[in-house]
């Protein structure tokens, strides 16, 4: 989001669980499009609230899995914000060789990019 549309919009990444380390294949395929994730750490919705990100201050949650959609809908019952579900392929565990794995991760990355363009138009940055 920041890469394509700038930093004028506050964007935060969160998930159902806190995995701490970002998958190396994800880091590699994002690096191909100049998105730096090596220092990025994932956190859960609960951690966001603990760290001071009040969900009521957001306008939209984009869920990339059925589990995150359920959690987001549960969290937003008391807040007025939209939840979009983007059915994205989970590349974890797909492919045998490094190149096959990277291929699946690129497909997932490209699905996310297409959803961004469909929602907000062509990149402005």
Q: Comparing 22 with 107, which gets the higher pLDDT?
A: 107
* Residue 87 belongs to a domain: yes
* Residue 78 belongs to a domain: yes
pLDDT of residue 123: 92
Counting the structural domains of the chain, the total is 1
| Total-model pTM | 0.84
Structure confidence at residue 67 as a pLDDT band (50, 70, 90): confident
pLDDT surpassing 90 at residue 13: no
* Residue 27 belongs to a domain: yes
* Residue 1 belongs to a domain: no
What Rg value do the Cα atoms of the chain yield, rounded? Answer: 15
Q: What CATH number should be reported for the domain holding residue 38?
A: 3.40.50.2300
* Residue 63 belongs to a domain: yes
Within 10 A of 11 (CB to CB), how many other CB atoms are there? Answer: 11
For helices 24-31 and 98-120, give the axis angle rounded to 10 degrees: 60
* Residue 125 belongs to a domain: no
Each as own residue / partner, the long-range contacts of residues 33-38 (CB below 8 Å, 24 or more positions apart, any chain) are 33/3, 33/109, 33/113, 34/3, 35/3
* Residue 124 belongs to a domain: no
* Residue 8 belongs to a domain: no
Helix H or strand E segment including 84 = strand 82-85
Q: What does the pLDDT average to over 5-11?
A: 86
Q: Can you give the residue range of the structural domain that contains 33?
A: 14-115
């Amino acid at each position: 989001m920041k890469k394509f549309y700038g930093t004028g919009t506050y964007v935060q990444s969160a998930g159902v669980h806190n995995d701490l380390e970002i998958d190396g294949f994800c880091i590699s395929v994002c690096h191909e499009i100049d998105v730096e994730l090596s220092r990025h750490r994932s956190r859960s919705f609960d951690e966001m609230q603990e760290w001071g990100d009040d969900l009521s201050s957001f306008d939209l949650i984009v869920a990339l899995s059925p589990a995150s959609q359920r959690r987001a809908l549960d969290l937003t019952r008391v807040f007025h914000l939209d939840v979009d579900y983007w059915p994205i392929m989970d590349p974890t565990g797909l492919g045998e060789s490094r190149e096959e794995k990277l291929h699946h991760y690129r497909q997932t990355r490209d699905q996310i990019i297409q959803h961004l363009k469909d929602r907000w138009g062509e990149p402005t940055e």
